[in-house]
A = this chain, B = another copy of it.
Amino acid sequence: MASTAKKSVPTLTLAGARTALAAAEKRAQEIKVPMNIAVVDSACHLLAFERMEGAKITSISIAMDKAFTAAGHRIPTSSYKEAVWPGGPAYGINNSNGGRFSTIGGGVPIIDQETGAVLGAVGCSTGLPSQDEDVASAGVDAVKRVLAVKAKL
Q: Roughly how many angstroms separate A58 CA and B151 CA in the complex, as a whole number?
A: 30
Q: Roughly how many angstroms separate A3 CA and B101 CA in the complex, as a whole number?
A: 30
A9:B6 contact, CB within 8 angstroms: no
A104:B97 contact, CB within 8 angstroms: no
A12:B3 contact, CB within 8 angstroms: no
Give A1-53 interface residues, CB cut-off 8 Å to B: 1-17, 19, 41, 43-53
One complex includes copies of this chain to the number of: 4
29 A–B contacts from the bound complex (CB under 8 Å): A1-B153, A3-B150, A5-B12, A5-B143, A6-B11, A6-B112, A8-B11, A9-B11, A13-B53, A14-B50, A14-B52, A41-B43, A47-B51, A49-B50, A56-B72, A58-B71, A58-B73, A58-B96, A58-B97, A59-B73, A61-B98, A62-B96, A62-B97, A89-B104, A89-B128, A89-B130, A90-B104, A90-B129, A92-B104
Which A residues are within 8 Å of any B CB, using their own CB? 1-17, 19, 41, 43-53, 56-62, 65, 68-69, 71-74, 81, 84-87, 89-99, 101-105, 112, 119, 128-130, 143, 146-147, 150-151, 153
